[in-house]
Structure 1
């Protein structure tokens, strides 16, 4: 892929960062693999030919490479020249590790809580005012961190993280779970095998996610399994983060009101997060994961995208996370690294 196909891409920035770190092409590849492996990402081949092609602009790095580069060089995508910054997005990583207390400092937990609070604020769309749903959920996330370190409220919370395919909702859910210790429940991981077998038994395509057969006969049970698993956790006081599209659910204010009422009756808080992303980035993520269930979307991309509303959040969403061009997930990676440096 040529540079002209990626507006704002400056491949030479990668070489500049590699040389500033004193790395050869081979050493950069090894460090890149280590960075990916250490953060649970798909480990890239990262041989010296690939690194060279990225630095020369012959091949635009895929999402797993870009995340690994950001972790390796402790920099953002705009800083590494992958793209221009979004409006209001800093080109510099504002989490300065050297300014935070040393791990043995008694204030380390407070410093970590501040990093988490700042990261949550940055990825959320719009201002977070005191007492708003965004501020309340942010406080719960920080509270969960403190609870894992000896304090915090025991009241459980149910968090729904929704978004279109490839929006980054699963990665953002993992990030929240890493910080809070809340149970992470992914719809596909829980139900995919059963869904595929049920579709086959009904005479359908196991990878169907768009026909009436799936939408009417299978999808309701898929989401019911997800919600029942969440209730099993909440009943024993374990907060849960659910990752699923939740497109129909979060658009249905009556459905969400019933959920809020059920949670209130059981002494459980509830919050909804919508992960917003641009179509080009979503397609890139979908192509990278290579899931059979996405085949129809990719084969009928224009038709599929025409049915998406990427500019508007569902009316029930308490927080909208801006993951256009992967910006929120990149910040999440840096926040994880910052917390490791503070507390390790």
Structure 2
């Protein structure tokens, strides 16, 4: 795919939040609206698409469980490398003037403030950064994960109390725009898009 270069400051938009909140679905729904409103192209990066098969293979080699995607072993030995690689791909595009939409939990990176700092990310200092944090009440997220039957959720569901401790709140920050995905609201979604692009 050939991407048009963005004439002004490139945009980095994150759709972030915990598992089962609907990040990927909402990001894909938002993409055509964002393109329409900006008349700009975007490079779309979803963590599960980029690293899903690779991480499953690595975990099968090391723990004999390809779906072991949230255990302490995974978090210590693979998690940060996935996120750093994803940010590296985003950086390469932003340095070329290509807008990027990133999809993934990014809770650790957002909590630390790294995702708000172009210098820390190594991206152009004029980059416009905005974060859509997708909220969903814990019990509803768990129910949706049970219903979707994704093998990658097996560890979370089997160790829910341990996993739930990592469901932290994002920091209050002007670049973070929260969206409650309990019951999709079209007008609230339109406002989210406006906030992300302001």
TM-score by length of 2: 0.76
Unaligned runs of 5+ residues in structure 2 are: 36-41, 191-198
Residue 275 of structure 1, aligned match among 134, 137, 142: 134
How many corresponding residue pairs? 179
Q: Give the whole-Å Cα distance in 2 for the aligned partners of 1:317 and 1:207.
A: 36
Q: Give the whole-Å Cα distance in 1 for the aligned partners of 2:146 and 2:8.
A: 41
Unaligned runs of 5+ residues in structure 1 are: 1-147, 336-344
1:257 Cα offset (Å): 5.4
Name the residue aligned to 1:171.
Answer: 25
Query: Secondary structure of 1:214's partner?
Result: helix
Name the residue aligned to 1:190.
Answer: 50
Aligned pairs for 1:3-14 within 5 A: none
Seen in structure 2, the aligned counterparts of structure 1 residues 225 and 303 have a Cα distance that, compared at 3 Å, is: closer
User: 1:326 and 2:172 equivalent?
Assistant: no
Relative contact order: is structure 1 or structure 2 higher (C-alpha 8 Å, sep ≥ 6)?
Answer: 2
Name the residue aligned to 1:305.
Answer: 164
Q: Give the whole-Å Cα distance in 2 for the aligned partners of 1:218 and 1:246.
A: 14
1:242 Cα offset (Å): 0.4
Query: Secondary structure of 2:164's partner?
Result: helix
Seen in structure 2, the aligned counterparts of structure 1 residues 304 and 257 have a Cα distance that, compared at 3 Å, is: closer
Name the residue aligned to 2:86.
Answer: 226
Aligned pairs for 1:1-344 within 5 A: 154-181=8-35, 182-253=42-113, 255-256=114-115, 258-261=117-120, 262-265=122-125, 267-309=126-168, 312-316=169-173, 318-327=175-184, 330-331=185-186
Which moved further from structure 2: 243-252 or 179-188? Answer: 179-188
- Give the greater-gyration-radius structure (CA): 1
Query: Which of the two has greater strand per residue?
Result: 2
Name the residue aligned to 1:12.
Answer: none
Seen in structure 2, the aligned counterparts of structure 1 residues 317 and 297 have a Cα distance that, compared at 3 Å, is: farther
In 2, are the aligned partners of 1:274 and 1:314 still within 8 Å (CA)?
no
Name the residue aligned to 1:49.
Answer: none
TM-score by length of 1: 0.46
Seen in structure 2, the aligned counterparts of structure 1 residues 189 and 162 have a Cα distance that, compared at 3 Å, is: same
